[in-house]
A and B are shown apart, each in its own frame.
Chain A
């Protein structure tokens, strides 16, 4: 008896595998989108913190320069530490801005591919499953017709 309905069983197995595939890959696409959103939020939070630090650092640097302008020439005020901090924060902020731009560009390209894949999962794959169901039904009907004569 083994193998008489093996093709039908195999098709049913493939049908179920397609259903699982669709569900699992939709989860994959959602996680990918979530990761993109999380990274964008993380970069924006870093940029926001740095902007606040930069603003504070610039105020401290300006205050130091004011003190330096009024200081006794024999006892100068050194503002180089403030200048360095402002410079470093400016550079880090610029680095984050560049990463944000790059991610936006790559995400734009990715969205085209992701859109096609989502369409495939939402439209093509269900049609494949329907096609398999029809083939399975047709095979089962043919077996039922043939069974009494065998």
Chain B
């Protein structure tokens, strides 16, 4: 079964979060905090917003196909 795109997007988001957690174990100086706050956090937030919107759109498309069958 082919997964829906936003599910793959969610998985990628988790992988990036894991990579950041791993990096943050060893990189804890000021630039690290700055990078996390000013760059990574907005990226993760924007990604979540996009994936949520994509999920709603994919739900709508599935429903439209189902409701117009036959």
Contact = CB atoms under 8 A, between A and B. Distances in A.
Interface residues of B, number: 38
A63 interface: no
B12 A21 contact: yes
A103 B60 contact: yes
Contacts of A31: 5, 8
Q: Is the interface of B mostly helix, strand, loop or mixed?
A: helix
Contact of B47 (A14, A16, A25): A25
A124 interface: yes
A71 interface: no
Contact of A32 (B25, B42, B58, B65): B58
Contacts of A10: 22-27
Interface in A121-138: 124-125, 128, 131-132, 135
A103 B60 CA distance: 7
Contacts of A87: none
Given A28-B5, A99-B68, A13 B23 contact: yes
